[in-house]
Amino acid sequence: MFAKSLALAANAFMGPTMFYPLLLRVFRGLSVVALTHIGTAAWASEPVQDSVDEEQAPVTLSAAELFAFADSARNSGDLATAEKAYRALVENPDAEIRSEARFRLGMLLSALGRNSDAALQFRAILDEKPDAQRVRLELARVLAQMGDLAAARRELRAAQAGELPPEVAQIVDRFSAALRANKPFGASFQVALAPDSNINRATRSDTLGTIIGDFTLSEDAKARSGIGLSLDGQAYFRTGIDRNAQLLARVSASGDLYRDNDFNDFSLGVQAGPEIASGQDRINLTGGIAWRWFGGTHYTTVVSTQIDIAHPLTRTAQLRGRVGVGFIDNRRNALESGESYSLSLGYERALSNRAGLSLNVAGFSQAAADPGYSTASGQAAIGGYREIGRVTLAGSLSYSHLEADKRLFLYPRRRSDDQYRATLGATFRKLTVAGFAPVVKLSVECNRSSIEIYDYRRLAAEFGIARAF
């Protein structure tokens, strides 16, 4: 259903090819040296006899002739030759020819089920031509087939932020409302080198004030810097329940690993539940369990359930809400065990084909066994992204405030925290290799607390690789 809807939108918008009318004008008077590695004898009507050693000389074809050759090979089922011909045209210095070749190559790769490679081709076109709406729709289609629904919906909102013919806009609206992944399983992985000025988010103070005097903190209780390896990955499986619902199961894992094992932080989670379509809304009901280990020791086990709702406001904006309940078992300190509650509301909007904005407010509450560890907090955040050529910049700013229910016996004051956080990252798609691109991210974090042990500052960076779309 997804592919058929998008095919209708694409054909109504641009016809069978993306830039063909303009390409015909470019073809006149333009010639390129064609492939010399994929059987030049097949291109010529008869051998060239000019060389003394009777070897065939390279055949010179115009761009139009090479396109015709590639299309003929594709239509006859010689897909390997067609791919090589399109890739040769991708190297053409003319932007129109290069983009048309990438588009046809992307469509060929998608038909072969190589959606990751197809997405890279479509993304490369958009880096040069952000207003190529047909390409953006095709990118949304292959992202959805890969199971990356969030990215697919983001591309659709970006497409709708530009100009679409009325008949295409209507089809895309219906397509957006009915968006469903048809890939039954998938996985992703990210790895980064992560220097951090405060790997344990600890105070820099030498002492801790208490009602019986100042305690001297050991070195292990104070801020430690280090360079670690940050790992993040997930795998999912989905299967249909009926035409309006499907079951999604997900396994996720993340870890920060350091030379000193005492600061290793590793998490593993399993979630499952139905995804339901209700009119234009999408509702996800999820239950799961998560484990966390710190310093090689089991730290917490959390059993949780949550409801996520996404509601489109306009063609380019949507509202997201989440309500969650969790049960925390703290293995190190039973007084911190208890229930947790969360509520969040987010707004996402595509500002243009190349930029987007998000706003989020959230509230959290933890009812621990000891009221001194019971807390309530609120958070507000703003984020956005901007594509500049083949670089995507993304950043966010957030503020949160936390209050404890009561004062812990040992401390002179009840805990009250103000936390500030800023992040800025860049993805360099020009350096993409095997579907992954370099990523650089910088984070600054400051937590001002009435209790010295919770008062800290942190500067961290990540240099790694991630999927490039």
Mean pLDDT by 10 residues, the chain (469 residues): 46 44 37 34 37 52 86 91 91 90 92 87 88 85 78 80 65 57 68 92 82 77 89 85 82 92 93 87 93 94 96 88 97 95 95 90 96 96 91 95 93 94 91 82 96 92 80
List CB contacts of 146: < 8 A, sequence separation 6 or more: 115, 116, 119, 181, 183, 186
Q: Which domains does the chain have, with CATH numbers?
A: 2-177 (1.25.40.10), 185-467 (2.40.160.40)
pTM for the whole structure = 0.70
Q: How far apart are CA 92 and CA 61, in angstroms?
A: 13
Nearest to 209 by CA among 408, 405, 458: 408
- Alpha-carbon distance of 85 to 67, in angstroms, equals 8
- Can you point out the beta strands (E) in 34-179? 60-62
Q: How far apart (Å, rounded) are the C-alpha atoms in residues 118 and 131?
A: 18
Which pLDDT score, from 0 to 100, does residue 144 have? 79
Query: Can you tell me the distance from the alpha carbon of 18 to that of 386, in angstroms, rounded to the nearest whole number?
Result: 24
The neighbour count for residue 446, using CB atoms within 10 Å, is 14
CA distance 322 to 285: 10
Nearest CA among 245, 291, 244, 290 for reference residue 271: 290
Contact between residue 274 and residue 224 where contact means Cβ atoms under 8 Å apart: no
Q: What token pair was written down for 64?
A: 């139009």
Among 95, 102, 96, smallest CA distance to 120 is for: 102
Residue 213 zone, left/alpha/beta (φ > 0; ψ -120 to 50; rest) = left
